[in-house]
Amino acid sequence: MTFQDLNHSRIAGARSFDELLKEGSRKIFDPLVVDMLSAFSEKLMKGEARAYPDVVSLGFFCRRANLSIVARRYASNDAIRIGRGHSIHYTPSNVPLNFCYSLIVALLAGNSCVVRLSNNTNAETDFVVEKLDTILSCSEFEALHNRVYLFRSKADETLNQALGDIADIRVIWGGNQTVRTIRKAPLKPHAYDITFPDRYSICLISAKEYLEEKDKRGIATAFYNDTFVFDQNACSSPKAVLWIGDQGTVSQAQELFWNQLDEQMQRKGYKCPASKTNEKLTKIAGLAVSGFEPKVSRSKMTGNVTVTTTAEALENADNFAAGGYFLQVQVDNLAALPVINDHQLQTVTHFGFAQTELEALLLSTPTKLSADRLVKIGNATAFDVIWDGYDLIGQMSKFVLVQ
């Protein structure tokens, strides 16, 4: 059976799946695609969208000025670069607008896009899908309308195989089990997967530099945006805070830092879901059973519990939770930082360190940090075409030599 024959619900884009299959590759950063995304950005940045900060961030990413900056990374006079063909995207539920970033990058890379949306509907997703479908339906972007097909469906091995049969690239977001399940459906010999399995992230703070920082409220706001906008569910949201400095300095910094964060949470009216509260209690008990002897250092914060434990706990991502649960670790200096050579480590947000210090951690022997991203606090969830160690435009396109 073909995909068109299988049970699914079309959400937006091409009216007929067969029409999408007729689409060929385009050059990367095709001017019409950039024009469409720029118009999409304008739709997303209007007043009604301001109720959704992540929608505004998406609109900011799609601005023509930003796309021009990204395009300059890929300028080449030696060959033309075009899409690989049909891209299939399985997108997660933990970050509602992830589907749109995956789609946008694939379009910019010159591909047609089939995107399976999470069955968990929400206002942000519905808002963005409606704006995208409106833009694609405009006469000026008619040539792009059949290059996008958004749908929802139940998990289905037959459907996975039908999509695998047409995929030139298959993009799988959603964790280890999702990757394993979808990979059971083989691809054509030339096709390949781009996978985003389970990941976790941490935050690295110089206690001395933090105490000297005048804008502590700004740091609290940035950390809040990294964590609580997505209830700490995003892979790039820090689950642990590593404090660099002697015990006395770190203790002073921690007291100020968490108090500032508590005030920010109250300003934002953050409420921890009951399910997350139970999850945090379970994790604390699990740490105790595993021998880490956790110390609950703060429980008065609004809906938040912070656990202080040993550095070895970072080696086991099972010790992490969400909804305001942080492991804290004190390390005297960067040289004493425990080796975190863990391929699950995605993002390290940081404050108070020079770029050369961070690069030294990546290039040390043994490697101190095997992270794929090191970004300043406040940028944990800021999307880039370089993600999880992938150059996504590069992965989704190919060079064609024309002589």
Instruction: Categorise residue 303: left if φ over 0, alpha if ψ from -120 to 50, beta otherwise.
Output: left
User: Where along the chain do the CATH 3.40.309.10 domains lie?
Assistant: 200-376
With contact defined as beta carbons under 8 Å apart, do 17 and 149 qualify? yes
Residue 89 scores a pLDDT above 60: yes
Across 169-195, average pLDDT: 95
Whole-number mean pLDDT of the chain? Answer: 87
Q: Judge residue 45's burial from the number of C-beta atoms within 10 Å of its C-beta, 0-12 exposed, 13-18 middle, 19 or more buried.
A: middle
Q: What integer pLDDT is reported at residue 164 of this predicted model?
A: 95
- Report the pLDDT averaged over residues 372-398: 95
**Whole-structure pTM value:** 0.89
Mean pLDDT confidence for 364-382 = 90
Specify the 3-state DSSP secondary structure of 184.
Answer: coil
- What single DSSP character describes residue 221? H
Q: What is the pLDDT of residue 152?
A: 92
Highest averaged pLDDT of the listed ranges 1-10, 130-139, 224-233, 328-337: 130-139
Q: Is residue 286's pLDDT more than 70?
A: no
Q: Is the pLDDT of residue 214 over 70?
A: yes
Sequence-separated (6 or more) residues with CB below 8 Å from residue 270 = 224, 228, 302, 303, 324
Tell which residue, 204, 225, 195, has the closest CA to residue 371: 204
Q: What's the rounded mean pLDDT across residues 290-315? A: 55
Cis peptide before 197 (omega within 30 of 0): no
- Model confidence at 319: pLDDT above 70: no
3-state secondary structure of 155: coil
pLDDT at 231 over 90: no
Tokens representing 296 are 């609950």
Stretch 375-384: mean pLDDT, rounded? 95
Percent pLDDT > 90 in the chain is: 61
State residue 403's pLDDT score: 79
Q: Which residues pair with 3 in a beta bridge?
A: none
**pLDDT (average), residues 246-266:** 92
CATH topology of domain 3-198+388-400: Aldehyde Dehydrogenase; Chain A, domain 1 (3.40.605)
The answer, yes or no, to whether residue 287 has pLDDT greater than 70, is: no
State the average pLDDT over residues 183-201: 95
Q: Which CATH architecture has domain 200-376?
A: 3-Layer(aba) Sandwich (3.40)
pLDDT for residue 334 is more than 70: yes
Residue 344: pLDDT band with limits 50, 70, 90: confident
